[in-house]
Structure 1
Amino acid sequence: MAEAAAKVRATRWKTLDDLDLSGKTVLTRVDINVPVEAGQVTDTTRIDRIVPTVDDIIAKGGKPLLIAHFGRPKGKVVAEMSLRQVVPALASALGRKVQFIETLEGAENPTDEARAAEVLLLENIRFHPGEEANDADFAARLAALGDVYCNDAFSAAHRAHASTEALARLLPACAGRLMQAELQALEKALGDPERPVMALVGGGKVSTKLDLLDNLVEKVDMLVIGGGMANTFLAAQGLGVGRSLCEHDMTDTARAIAEKAKRTGCEILLPHDVVIAEELREGAENEVVAAGDCPDDKMILDAGPDSVAHIEQAMDRARTLIWNGPLGAFEFAPFDAATNAVAAHATDLCQAGKLIAVAGGGDTVAALNRTGAAEKFTYISTAGGAFLEWMEGKTLPGVAALGG
């Protein structure tokens, strides 16, 4: 992770404060890939977070032409993936009229109404096959639409697409306010962190976070493993996990990661006790047993109270926390108890100025939002794959391209 952050520092990426935007069209890559039901946006979080960038561009005399994707149309026009349906929510969040442009040709030959509009939104960029192919000719057509490029979509920065990578190399480029905030927060948590550093990684499968775990044991001082992944590590120790979610074919890998942690001086924290039940449902009858004492006919669905206490005591020693994934099946009470308790403890430490806490990933954000903890963390990343790849120590093409 330090290596990845060093690469970003070396690019010396610019911000909106570094470029003259007066009288210029600013091609602004944003992520407004929001959930929609029956034509209505049901969660405006991603829209709300681009408002500062759009407002600043306009305040500096620029005209934002927003470029975004919606879903995965795979280079074809798919009516239900049109960005037109997000225009009302976008206009409401911005407090401005948003002129929707249906085609690239329409952007190349703007109407008088488009010329007069404060904010333009181009139709789903992934309707064009040249986008995901990172096609140079397509990127050149996009570049011809404006004078400056601004990337405010950190969540798409791990994709080398035309609107995230190639376009940044064709125009004066900078990071938008959200991208800037993401990079600064991650640099503080991962690039040059205050130590000790604790990483909390949860989720279902070791196989999906193998690169992450392998990288973290080299970079952090303490690694908490929760969720279904913890079951795989318990099984690797020869402990019974019953019918729990567990990748028994990954136990050798789990042992290898544990051995690597010993060599690097990273302390791995696994559950001491667990919450078990016969079925996963809201309010299911459950009990707490020692880790490894799960009967063959039951499932481990959460970390137990002793485990929570152990994590909290370790967290008291930490100065930086990086959180990705829940500790249990948080969607169903009471199996959200461990996640909720540890999140509350982290927020208390943040509020007291004792901890820098950065979290990211879909399940993580959902879990922290349910408890109200998200707003009290130092930073919450809305990026899923990009946040994960950053934690894995990988270079993100969309960030690297901003260095010119």
Structure 2
Amino acid sequence: MAYQYSTLDDLDVTGKRVLVRADLNVPVRDGRITDTARIDRQAPTIRELAERGARVIVLSHFGRPKGRLVPELSLKPIAPALSRAIGRTVAFGNDCIGDVAKAAVSKLKDGDVLLLENTRFHAGEEANDPDFARALAELGDLYVNDAFSAAHRAHGSTEGVAHILPSAAGRAIQDELLHLHRALDQPNRPVLAIIGGAKVSTKIALIENLLKKVDILVIGGAMANTFLAAEDIDVGKSLYEADQLDTAKRIVSLATETGTIPILPSDVVVAKVFEAGAPHRTVPAREVAADDMILDVGPDTIADFEQHLQTVNTLVWNGPVGAFETPPFDHGTMTIARLVAARTKAGHLLSVAGGGDTVSALKHAGVAGDFSYVSTAGGAFLEWLEGRELPGVAALAASVGVAQ
């Protein structure tokens, strides 16, 4: 799905009040940020605008306060981390609309950065209330959306305000859209997709859309058990969806129609119990015992994947191929991740990965930095793979030619 949209390169920002929709919804434990990845992704846009003399006003949600003021979900503790990321002081405003916000904005000078309070403290945010969007728009002259991870939500700060102010994509959204476009819309073929995870039922739309776009589809994780069961293979005590067997058969049939090669595990790692260090063995996929659980792919499956990997130029990955959180059942996902990373580093592959478990798995393998692009967008990344329109991105496209 290709969009035309303005970028920071199309904006004259000096002396302008620029509203930046960022995603600062970072994990916090005991008052400490445990992962700054999203802040780090947003920093280049905010820093660039400030360096170009804009008066930068940062908007973000945090948690799910459901339109109520919840003190523990204030963005104020995030301001110091954002300040460190961009290398300049970040002021804080105790509301994101109204007189309090206007007063905070009025104090800004060229190059200053202000973080406003959690947009979801107002019910109008998630309702995409026009009055709320207008109240946000009153604070700025231009609007920049850099929160791809929230672009699948038609909220006031992600979609509504983009129809009011001249709008553009920030560097993070620009980078994400560029890589997704290169991977799926105009890829260098052949294209291979790895789809893993627990349930077929949650990824039907994703798989159906990918079958129109990829040449090879590797199915792993517990969802592969459903496909094996659909072929009348006994999967023992393994997790699978008995009510999705017909869906699995239909997907395989659709792959035949589209000319996509579906790949299922030919051998698997099984255990009697699912726990770290549990006794385990490798068996052909058709020889799983009645009291076995499939918890990872075996070496023959990995070798088959490696052969196919050598033939492709583009790879998209969503979902681990085994129970990667629990060793030794992390071996398949770790090995495949490292094979993809090596081919990417050698300059032979464009590799794009996303989804929470996938990102965690790549970090666990120590190769997240070696892929061409790793999306932290979660739901928005999945909806893009499903071929769905993202309201936040569509709104930027509607603003093309207006931003200046």
Choose 192-201 or 349-358, whichever is displaced more. Answer: 349-358
Indicate the residue corresponding to 2:288 in structure 1. Answer: 294
Give the counterpart letter for 2:285 in structure 1.
A
1:51 aligns with 2:70: no
Q: What are the equivalent positions in structure 2 for 1:305-384 lying under 5 Å apart?
A: 305-384=299-378
Structure 1 residue 163 corresponds to structure 2 residue 145: no
CA distance in 2, matches of 1:159, 1:224: 30
- Provide the rounded CA distance (Å) in 1 between the counterparts of 2:155 and 2:104: 25
SS in structure 2 at match of 1:138: helix
Residues 57 and 115, structure 2, Cα contact 8 Å, conserved in 1: yes
Structure 2 residue aligned with 1:73: 65
Q: Which residue, out of 387, 395, 399, partners 2:381?
A: 387
CA-to-aligned-CA distance 1:324-375 (integer Å, 9 cap, x gap)? 0100000011111111111111111111111110001110011001112110
Aligned-residue sequence identity (percent) comes to: 54
Give the Cα separation in 2 of the matches to 1:313 and 1:27: 48
**Consecutive aligned runs of 4 or more in structure 1 exceeding 4 Å deviation:** 111-117
Query: Hey, what's the Cα distance between the residues in 2 that align with 1:248 and 1:261?
Result: 21
Tell me the equivalent position of 2:29: 37
Distance in 2 separating the partners of 1:237 and 1:180: 42
Q: 2:171 aligns with which of 177, 184, 190?
A: 177
Pick aligned residue for 1:147 from 136, 141, 144: 141
Paired letter, 1:126 = R
Deviations 1:268-305 (A, max 9, x none): 00000000012222111110011032222121000101
Question: Are the equivalent residues in 2 in contact too, given 1:202–1:327 (CA < 8 A)?
Answer: yes
Matched, 1:188 2:206: no
Q: Write the mapping of 1:117-156 to structure 2, written as runs, cut at 5 A.
A: 118-156=112-150
Task: Give per-residue Cα distances to partners, 1:16-41, cap 9 Å, x unaligned.
Answer: 01010010111000011101011111
CA RMSD of aligned residues (A): 1.3
Distance of 1:292 and 1:250 partners within structure 2: 19
> Does the residue aligned with 2:329 lie in a helix, a strand or coil?
coil
Read off the aligned partner of 2:165 and give its amino acid letter: L
Partner residue, 2:84: 92
Residue type at the aligned position of 1:20 = D
Bigger CA drift: 362-371 or 74-83?
74-83
Distance of 1:240 and 1:278 partners within structure 2: 15
- Separation (CA, whole Å) in 1 of partners of 2:222 and 2:105: 55
Determine which of 11, 17, 25 is the counterpart of 2:17: 25
Shift of the alpha carbon at 1:125? 0.4
The normalised TM-score by structure 2 is 0.96
Q: Is the 8 A contact 1:99 1:114 kept in 2?
A: no
- Secondary structure of the corresponding residue to residue 316 of structure 2: strand
Partner of 2:224: 230
Distance 2:34 2:393 in 1: 29
Moved more, 99-108 or 178-187: 99-108
Q: Does 1:249 align with 2:209?
A: no
Shift of residue 113 of structure 1?
Answer: 5.4
Contact conserved, 2:15 with 2:110, CA < 8 A, in 1?
no
Aligned 8 A contact 2:105 2:114 in 1: no
Whole-Å Cα distance in 1 between the matches of residues 86 and 347 of structure 2? 33
1:16 corresponds to:
8
Measured in 2, the distance between the counterparts of 1:262 and 1:297 equals: 33
Is residue 2:197 matched to residue 1:208? no
Is the 1:35–1:42 contact (alpha carbons within 8 Å) kept by the matching residues of 2? Answer: yes
Q: Which residue identity does 1:107 align to in structure 2? A: A
- 8 A contact 1:99–1:117 mirrored in 2: no
Residue by residue over 1:172-228, the C-alpha shift from the partner in whole angstroms, topping out at 9 and shown as x without a partner, is 100001011001111110110000000000000001101001111121100000001
> 1:71-112 CA deviation, whole Å, 9 max, x = no partner?
111111112211112122222222221111111231122377
- The range that moved more, 85-94 or 301-310, is 85-94
Q: Structure 1 residues 49-58 or 81-90, which shifts more?
A: 81-90
Q: Which structure 1 segments of 5+ residues have no match? A: none
Correspondence 1:273 to 2:241? no
The answer to whether the Cα contact below 8 Å between 1:232 and 1:247 also exists between their aligned partners in 2 is yes
SS in structure 2 opposite 1:358?
strand
Q: Provide the C-alpha distance between the structure 2 equivalents of 1:288 and 1:262, rounded to a whole number of angstroms.
A: 29
CA distance in 2 between counterparts of 1:274 and 1:370 reads 21
SS of 1:208's partner is: coil
Say if 1:97 and 1:117, in contact at 8 Å, map to a contact too.
no
Aligned equivalents of 2:134 and 2:106: distance in 1?
Answer: 24
The code of the aligned residue for 2:327 comes to A
